């Protein structure tokens, strides 16, 4: 009886063990099945336009074969190989590469791939990252036109507009002669410049760069140490119709034509010359823009004008500028006044040049003086009216004398 009982217990344990093992095997099979399905899902069939990675099997002059693992063999040839960017030049067997799928199966049964598309895509991704990070990039200038300089970054053509050059490199040309500007820009060909990317538009294939932005942070730090009222010493770096630029401490400021001298100026070149050393006062700061004044460091002649000129005085002057609203007349080196169109002639006229010409000299009557505003009102017609009155008085006097003479004769 005891022996039978022992045998029954062993059979029961064996049954439990078999059942437990069966469950474990089922679980293992389920896990293996799930892994297989997961792998199958991960290994989806590639589509045209997908990017695939692999190792180079062989490199020839006309084709490169790539081992794509479970996807088989891919081949890159023709323009898709030759017209690629620098990153895909000088490839060797064993190199890891990424390529774009052009065809799922060519005449040899391989995937047709493109390095050209993949390299351009990677280049633009990198360019956009550089733009977002504000990274400074060094590039070699290849060409120049009147609008700016051309180069390449990551093999992509990039344009550096003239307006984005630093003040140090900006082509200041008197009169704005386009041919002379081009000559100056061509001097940069072959040189390396540090720039920042300001536009990276892959869709429009537009890559715009700026040298000015690359040094902006340094300029900002320097400019923060400046304040309105500071006196700077520098040299004239360029002259335009609207003023002159002064370079100092690797910065540049603008002296507007109205801030060059107290007198009315027709052409800034009459007052300053390129490379001329000057002192100027900072009169304004706006971001990285610096506004200067040279005339503020000289004596204001209008402050002592009352010692020289009075309202009602008849003065000699020369017409130096004509506008639709009147004519500017220079009285001396520093003082000028305006003859409004209504003060040029007794009758109404359409244009000042009907009465006066530039360079014409004559007498004018001072109607008003405003020293604080540096304004003086003059009149030409008032002088003519005075002349008429004098002539009339002279005629009357002559007639009176003649009458008296006749009376005296009669009496005699």
Is residue 15 predicted with pLDDT exceeding 90?
no
Q: What is the pLDDT of residue 27?
A: 79
Tokens 């344009």 correspond to what residue?
159
22 phi and psi angles, rounded to 5 deg: -60, -45
Which residues are 140's β-sheet partners?
A: 192
CATH fold of the domain at 51-121: OB fold (Dihydrolipoamide Acetyltransferase, E2P) (2.40.50)
Is residue 397 predicted with pLDDT exceeding 70?
no
Q: What is the pLDDT of residue 4?
A: 43
Q: What is the pLDDT of residue 50?
A: 86
Which of 68, 143, 137 is closest to 101 using CA atoms? 68
Return the higher-pLDDT residue of 371 and 40.
371
Q: What is the pLDDT of residue 1?
A: 40
CATH fold of the domain at 307-386: OB fold (Dihydrolipoamide Acetyltransferase, E2P) (2.40.50)
In 134-237, which residue ranges form alpha helices assigned H by DSSP?
178-186, 211-214, 216-224
pLDDT in tens, 283-329: 999 888 899 999 999 999 999 999 999 999 999 999 999 999 999 99
Q: What angle do CA 134, 135, 139 make, to 5 degrees?
A: 130
Q: What does each C-alpha distance from 385 to 241, 328, 380 come to in angstroms? A: 39, 20, 9
Which of 189, 193, 190, 172 is closest to 181 using CA atoms? 172
CATH of domain 225-297: 2.40.50.140
Record the pTM.
0.57
CATH of domain 134-214: 2.40.50.140
Q: What is the pLDDT of residue 2?
A: 40
Going 183 to 186 to 191 to 195, the CA torsion angle's sign is: positive
Tokens 């704005």 correspond to what residue?
176
Is residue 23 predicted with pLDDT exceeding 80?
no
**Domain range list for the chain:** 51-121, 134-214, 225-297, 307-386
CB–CB of 197/262 below 8 Å?
A: no
The rounded percent of the chain whose pLDDT value lies above 90 is 47
Is residue 240 predicted with pLDDT exceeding 70?
yes
Q: What does each C-alpha distance from 310 to 335, 337, 368, 401 come to in angstroms? A: 13, 13, 8, 35
Please give the average per-residue pLDDT across 252-258, as a whole number.
Answer: 94
Which residues are 196's β-sheet partners?
A: 136, 210
Q: What is the pLDDT of residue 24?
A: 77
| Domain 225-297 identical in fold to domain 307-386 | yes
Q: What is the pLDDT of residue 318?
A: 94
Q: What is the residue-averaged pLDDT of the chain?
A: 85
The Cα–Cα gap between 412 and 410 comes to 5
The rounded percent of the chain whose pLDDT value lies above 70 is 84
Is residue 3 predicted with pLDDT exceeding 50?
no
């Amino acid at each position: 009886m005891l022996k039978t009982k022992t045998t029954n217990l062993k059979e029961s344990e064996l049954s439990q063990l078999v059942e437990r093992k069966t469950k474990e095997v089922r679980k293992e099979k389920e896990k293996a099945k799930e892994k297989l399905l997961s792998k199958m899902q991960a290994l989806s069939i590639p589509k045209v336009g997908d990017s695939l990675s692999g190792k180079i099997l062989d490199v020839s002059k006309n084709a490169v074969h790539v081992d794509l693992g479970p996807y088989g063999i891919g081949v890159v040839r023709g323009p898709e190989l030759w017209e690629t960017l620098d990153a895909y030049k000088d490839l060797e067997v064993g190199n890891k590469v990424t390529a774009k799928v052009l065809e799922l199966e060519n005449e040899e049964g391989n995937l047709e791939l493109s390095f050209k598309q993949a390299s351009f895509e990677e280049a633009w991704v990198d360019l956009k990252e550089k733009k977002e990070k504000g990274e400074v990039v060094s590039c070699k200038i290849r060409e120049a036109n009147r609008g700016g300089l051309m180069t390449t970054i990551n093999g992509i053509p990039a344009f550096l507009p003239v307006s984005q050059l630093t003040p140090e490199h900006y082509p200041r040309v008197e009169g704005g002669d386009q041919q002379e500007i081009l000559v100056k820009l061509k001097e940069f060909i072959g040189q390396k410049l540090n720039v920042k990317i300001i536009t990276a538009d892959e869709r429009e294939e537009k890559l715009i760069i700026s040298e000015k932005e690359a040094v902006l942070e340094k300029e900002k730090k320097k400019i923060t140490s400046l304040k309105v009222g500071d006196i700077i010493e520098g040299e004239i770096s360029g002259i335009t119709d609207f003023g002159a630029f002064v370079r100092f401490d690797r910065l540049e400021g603008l002296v507007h034509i109205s801030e060059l001298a107290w007198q009315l100026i027709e052409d800034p070149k009459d007052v300053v010359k390129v490379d001329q050393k000057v002192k100027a006062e900072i009169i304004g700061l706006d971001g990285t823009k610096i506004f200067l004044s040279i005339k503020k460091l000289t004596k204001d002649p209008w402050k002592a004008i009352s010692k020289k000129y009075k309202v009602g005085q008849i003065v000699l002057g020369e017409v130096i500028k004509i506008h639709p609203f009147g004519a500017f007349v220079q009285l001396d080196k520093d003082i000028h006044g305006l003859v409004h169109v209504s003060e040029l002639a007794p009758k109404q006229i359409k244009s000042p040049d009907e009465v006066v010409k530039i360079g014409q000299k004559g007498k004018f009557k001072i109607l008003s003086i405003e020293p604080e505003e540096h304004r003086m009102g003059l009149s030409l017609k008032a002088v003519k009216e005075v002349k008429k009155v004098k002539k009339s008085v002279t005629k009357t006097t002559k007639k009176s004398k003649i009458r008296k003479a006749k009376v005296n004769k009669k009496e005699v």
